Amino acid sequence: MKRTLLVVAFLATAIAGSAAAKDSIDLDAYAKCITLATSKEPPPPEADQVCLKPARQGLPGAEYALGAILLSRQEYPDAIQWLERAAKADNPPAAYLLAEIYLGSQDSDLEKRGRELLEFAICSGYPPAQGSQSRAALGELKCSSAERKPFDGSWSATLDWVKQTPGVGNADGLKIVLSGDAAKVLLQSGESWVEFKPGKFRAEQVDETLIVSATDSGWDFDGKWIESWTVQLLRTSPDQADLVVLRTVNNVYVPESTGLRTFATMAQGHASCESP
């Protein structure tokens, strides 16, 4: 049975939003793979070879794309193999695509596997799975994975300044103390920790990402300044997260020719959490 339209729809809604983060992944090949997989035109003959390298490197999005491309050509054994690899790496789109295939099977084992995959995709929040007509066959679901873990605690990181503040030094480390949407940000200089902009920072959590931000303004010898800070914690495990810091400054009355009218600084690091 041909599933080309089904595959294209899944790719358009899921693969386009995927992201790769490992240096070992061939990102150029992955980008080309996604472009070919999400095209409105049928995948060209070279598409599977383009996707093969990042798929072999273990990127679930590429495994899914390759499996979907092969499926559109009715190369079922190889397609199922790559889709299973992606699904076993907890890729919800691949799990859903396999579920739709398996649930139409007359094999009881495959049908059982399809139910498991569909439940995983639904509980992961994958929209096509949540709106699937097959959902009714699962009955009431208890999705424990839907509960997000708060970031409450004290997160500390050593900072690597990618772009430094013009003319001054930068903090060596950063600590964020979190309780709900309340956040304290402390900067380290040497052995000392000093709270920065007390009462200004607020936190907002979206799944496994936390955004801590503050906007402030005031006056000094240069006139009025407007400053914003954004700290992002991207959780990689319950007590570990990648961290990105962005600071922007707008000195309203400083001539642009000085190069100090506006500027931005950025740092990155890896944060560890101590529970409250």
Query: Where does CATH 1.25.40 sit in the chain?
Result: 4-145
Cα of first residue to Cα of last residue in the chain, in angstroms, is: 55
**259: its two tokens:** 């190069």
The strand pairing partners of 271, in sequence order, are 241
Res 8 pLDDT > 90? no
Domain 153-274: top CATH class: mainly beta
User: What would the mean pLDDT of 21-32 be, rounded to a whole number?
Assistant: 78
The residue whose two tokens read 């929040």 is: 125
Quick one: DSSP state of residue 20? -
By C-alpha distance, which of 194, 191, 189, 157 is closest to 175? 157
Phi and psi of 210, rounded to 5°?
Answer: -120, 130
Res 105 pLDDT > 50? yes
**83: its two tokens:** 């889709």
**How many whole angstroms separate alpha carbon 269 and alpha carbon 32?**
30
Quick one: DSSP state of residue 172? S
CATH 1.10.10 for the 4-145 domain, yes or no: no
pLDDT digits 0-9 by tens, 162-186: 998 776 678 899 999 999 889 999 9
Query: Residue 187: what pLDDT?
Result: 93
Task: Show the beta-strand stretches assigned E in the chain.
Answer: 153-158, 160-163, 173-179, 182-189, 192-196, 202-206, 209-220, 223-237, 240-251, 262-274
